[in-house]
């Protein structure tokens, strides 16, 4: 039986949407996610249920069959998945990757791809950006795309491309102009929509990577992969700008997932501290147990306020780079604090898989590191908000 909800969101907004996601997630309890974690499996049934309910098409415009939702509404969907004990990582990419196609794709591309994505006929969950030698320095990626008539020939390697094995389409960033030939290092990068169903296996190899969490991540090798010119998103050489445009949405959605994780940890901490009796009293009666939970709750509430501010700015069309990055950083840190508190509250039982704490503990750590390190968020704030010298 799940512990009672601890109040996190005090806005009172989206109550009906929250209930809808909660009801769906109730069909996929902890043992479902534990089995997948143990087997390194992909949650096919869960993704299909989310698709059928229309949640994965939330950010697709209504004219293309989607929900036409705001980023705030989309963030609530992912928050509730994680708060239910699930892992929204299996579906969040389809939400934020979609933005490049929605905002920068040609009308013909939107008409071709968005309706089947909205209906669940296709999945777009893979985003090929990071490379082993470049890391967070995206402008130094070495995967290249060379024009050959009406096609581009792509050669190179990507890493940490999650869910490529379970996606029909992949958004791919590659250099169309060498770094040494551009005036600004952010130029010369182009964005492509790769149809993974049609690729020759000799031209593209996907290798799964085993990690401490079940994130279905891979490394991908491109050896002369041919992609039609009509699959290029936007103008040639402007791909970096297009992915930056989607990163604010990504940060806000990741922040919401961390808020959901934090809420899950706090609820479990409170429930266990109330029911666990040691020395003839509930352990939650001890201030040494109470105070860390209360502190984690306060920090999570504060981080959530930044999530809502960033979402409001994004949905209003205003600049929100600082707010989106701060929301992601603060929420990831608050969730990790709550994870540690939950594990310590449970003591030895926190390491037992049947309680799900250790699984969620591992999953919560990811967002301090990816999709952007919190240290890089601090560097961004120092330079672009506070006016300090560039540190990298």
pLDDT in tens, 16-26: 999 999 999 99
130 and 197: one domain?
yes
Domain presence at residue 391: no
Boundary residue ending a domain (63, 98, 123): 123
56 and 184: one domain?
no
Q: What is the domain extent for residue 259?
A: 243-385
Domain presence at residue 367: yes
pLDDT of amino acid 255: 98
What is the length of the chain?
392
311 and 343: one domain?
yes
Domain presence at residue 227: yes
Strands 232-233 and 217-228: unpaired
Boundary residue ending a domain (89, 123, 157): 123
Boundary residue ending a domain (62, 93, 123): 123
SS3 166: helix
80 and 113: one domain?
yes
With beta carbons less than 8 A apart as the criterion, state whether 153 and 146 touch: yes
Confidence band, pLDDT 50/70/90 cuts, at residue 385: very high
Domain presence at residue 284: yes
Cα separation of the two ends of the chain: 49
311 and 372: one domain?
yes
List residues bridging with 173 in a β-sheet.
Answer: 191
Q: What pTM does this model have?
A: 0.95
106 and 201: one domain?
no
Tens of pLDDT, residue by residue over 248-263, are 999 999 999 999 999 9
CATH number at residue 357: 1.20.140.10
- Going by C-alpha positions, the residue among 148, 100, 94, 132 that lies closest to residue 209 is 132
The count of domains in the chain is 3
- Based on its alpha-carbon atoms, the radius of gyration of the chain, rounded to whole angstroms, reads 21
CATH number at residue 64: 1.10.540.10
pLDDT of amino acid 305: 97
């Amino acid at each position: 039986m799940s512990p009672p909800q601890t109040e996190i969101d005090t806005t009172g907004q989206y109550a009906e949407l929250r209930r809808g996601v909660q009801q769906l997630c109730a069909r996929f309890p902890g043992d479902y996610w534990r089995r997948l974690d143990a087997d390194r499996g992909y949650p096919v049934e869960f993704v299909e249920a989310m698709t059928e309910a229309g949640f994965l098409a939330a950010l697709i415009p209504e004219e293309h069959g989607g929900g036409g939702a705001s980023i705030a509404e989309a963030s609530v969907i992912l928050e509730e998945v994680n708060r239910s004990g699930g892992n929204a990582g299996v579906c969040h990419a389809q939400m934020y990757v979609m933005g490049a196609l929605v905002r920068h794709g040609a009308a013909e591309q939107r008409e071709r791809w968005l309706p089947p994505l909205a209906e669940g006929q296709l999945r777009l969950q893979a985003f090929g950006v990071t490379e082993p030698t470049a890391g967070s320095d995206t402008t130094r990626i070495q995967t290249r795309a060379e024009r050959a008539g009406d096609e581009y020939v792509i050669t190179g390697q990507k890493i940490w491309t999650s869910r490529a094995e379970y996606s029909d389409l992949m958004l791919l960033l590659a250099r169309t102009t060498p770094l040494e030939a551009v005036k600004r290092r952010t130029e010369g990068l182009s964005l492509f929509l790769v149809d993974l169903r049609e690729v020759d296996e000799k031209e593209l190899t996907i290798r799964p990577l085993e990690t401490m969490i079940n994130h279905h991540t891979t490394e991908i090798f491109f050896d002369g992969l041919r992609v039609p010119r009509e699959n290029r998103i936007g103008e040639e050489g402007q791909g970096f700008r297009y992915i930056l445009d989607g990163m604010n949405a990504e940060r806000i959605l990741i922040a919401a997932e961390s808020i959901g994780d934090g809420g899950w940890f706090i609820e479990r901490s409170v429930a266990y501290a109330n029911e666990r009796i040691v020395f003839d009293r509930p352990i939650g009666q001890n201030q040494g147990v109470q105070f860390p939970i209360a502190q984690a709750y306060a920090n999570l509430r504060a981080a959530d306020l930044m999530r809502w501010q960033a979402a409001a700015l994004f949905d209003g069309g205003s600049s929100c780079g600082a707010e989106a990055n701060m929301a992601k950083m603060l929420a990831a840190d608050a969730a990790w604090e709550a994870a540690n508190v939950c594990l310590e509250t449970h003591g030895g039982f926190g390491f037992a898989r049947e309680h799900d704490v250790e699984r969620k503990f591992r999953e919560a750590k990811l967002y301090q590191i990816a999709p952007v390190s919190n240290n890089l968020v601090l560097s961004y704030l120092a330079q672009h908000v506070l006016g300090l010298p560039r540190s990298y």
